[in-house]
Amino acid sequence: MPKYNNFLQFFILLIFLFAVSSCNKIEVLDEIVFDYDQLPKIVFSAEQKKVKETYETKFSDPFIDYSLPKPPKEHLKSWIESNFAIIGTENKLIINIIDSSLTKSEVANANAKKYEEKTIYLFEINYLAEYILYDDSNAILSSTTVETKRSITSGKFISLMELDRIIESLILDALIDFAKKTEELIKIHMSGYILWIYFFQKPTDNNTKKVNSSNLPTSIVNDSIHFAPSGNKL
């Protein structure tokens, strides 16, 4: 009889634990979508386009970009491949990725209250790239260098799902910063070789953009430009 009572008590305990665990809130986080259609699309007066990488991935602390399924460098390359087009019979566009690092470090939580964490994680991402347009004799026609930095902090005791979302959101925000800065500096330093800069438009919007250079066509119809598919999801 005592054995039966022990078994009954154990069975009741299991039911209780199951009921408690089933009442716990399931963590559901919004998906981070990298929609390149929302970023600038640029058409250069060039015959060739090439992406180079001088950034070497580091496999030691505080760098963590090597551990991601799709690191910041690959998102940058996807945007360039999707949103940079070329038209022409001369000139060569070189895009050199110099830095696309992502780091994680512990910093003091200056605003911590009595029972809060005294240290938190700091995530920092740095994008640095140069755009160089050469003529057919390898003389530089125009160039510009673009660099942006962005950071975010998080608690140390959060779920892996929430941590992944924080990192993905940081990469997306950094890419948006970099794309906007690229568009700004290219307009300043390479405007004579830009045929067209396109932003996402509704179907009812005007489908042409004016060209800046006087020695190029006055307008270009969107249908004549073919960009790579975009809208990738993680």
Range of weakest confidence among 126-130, 208-212, 229-233: 208-212
Domain 28-224 annotated CATH 3.40.50: yes
Length of the chain: 234
Tell me whether strands 92-108 and 84-87 are parallel, antiparallel or unpaired: unpaired
Question: Which secondary-structure segment (H or E) carries 21?
Answer: helix 2-23
Structure tokens of 77?
């390359």
Cis peptide leading into 217, omega within 30 of 0? no
Using only C-alpha atoms, what is the Rg of the chain? 25
Our measurement of the distance from residue 99's CA atom to the centroid of its chain's CA atoms, rounded to an integer in Å, reads 13
More confident residue, 208 or 116: 116
| pLDDT tens per residue, range 33-90 | 889 988 999 999 999 999 999 999 999 999 999 999 999 999 999 999 999 999 999 9
More confident residue, 43 or 229: 43
Give the pLDDT of residue 110: 79
Q: Which of 223, 201, 180 is CA-nearest to residue 79? A: 180
CB neighbour class for 23 (10 Å; exposed up to 12, middle 13-18, buried from 19): exposed
Calculate what percentage of the chain has a pLDDT beyond 90: 61
Average pLDDT for residues 81-102, to the nearest whole number?
Answer: 97
CA–CA separation, 79 and 43 (whole Å): 13
Domain range list for the chain: 28-224
| pLDDT tens per residue, range 146-202 | 999 999 999 988 999 999 999 999 999 999 999 999 999 999 999 999 998 876 544
| pLDDT over 60 at 92, yes or no | yes
Neighbours of 183 (CB within 10 A): 17
Structure tokens of 206?
């005007």
Cis peptide leading into 229, omega within 30 of 0? no
More confident residue, 12 or 91: 91
| pLDDT over 50 at 221, yes or no | no
Give the pLDDT of residue 200: 52
Beta bridge partners of 43: 85, 196
**Helix 72-83 and helix 160-189, axial crossing angle in degrees, nearest 10:** 40
More confident residue, 152 or 221: 152
pTM of the prediction?
0.75
Give the pLDDT of residue 209: 39
CB 46 within 8 Å of CB 89: no
Give the pLDDT of residue 89: 96
Mean pLDDT of the residues in the chain: 80
CB 40 within 8 Å of CB 83: yes
Range of weakest confidence among 2-11, 71-80, 122-131, 144-153: 2-11
| pLDDT over 60 at 18, yes or no | no
